[in-house]
Amino acid sequence: MTEIITEPKYYTPAVKIAIMKHRANNIEKYNEFQRNYYHQKKTDEDWNAKFKERCRLANQKYRQKLKELSPPKSRGRPRKIALDIPSVEII
pLDDT tens for 20-56 read 999 999 999 999 999 999 999 999 999 999 999 999 9
CA-CA distance, 21 to 29, in Å (whole number)?
Answer: 13
Higher-scoring residue by pLDDT: 66, 5: 66
Q: 69: pLDDT confidence band, cut at 50, 70 and 90?
A: confident
Q: Determine, yes or no, domain membership for 33.
A: yes
Q: Determine, yes or no, domain membership for 91.
A: no
Question: What pLDDT does 31 receive?
Answer: 95
Model-level pTM?
0.49
**31: domain range?**
13-69
- Say whether pLDDT at 7 is over 80: no
Q: Determine, yes or no, domain membership for 4.
A: no
Inter-residue contact 23 to 30 (CB < 8 Å):
yes
Q: Determine, yes or no, domain membership for 34.
A: yes
Q: Return the DSSP state at 26.
A: T
Report the number of distinct structural domains present in the chain: 1
Q: Determine, yes or no, domain membership for 6.
A: no
Q: Which residues contact 41 (CB under 8 A, 6 or more apart)?
A: 47, 48, 51
Inter-residue contact 42 to 48 (CB < 8 Å):
yes
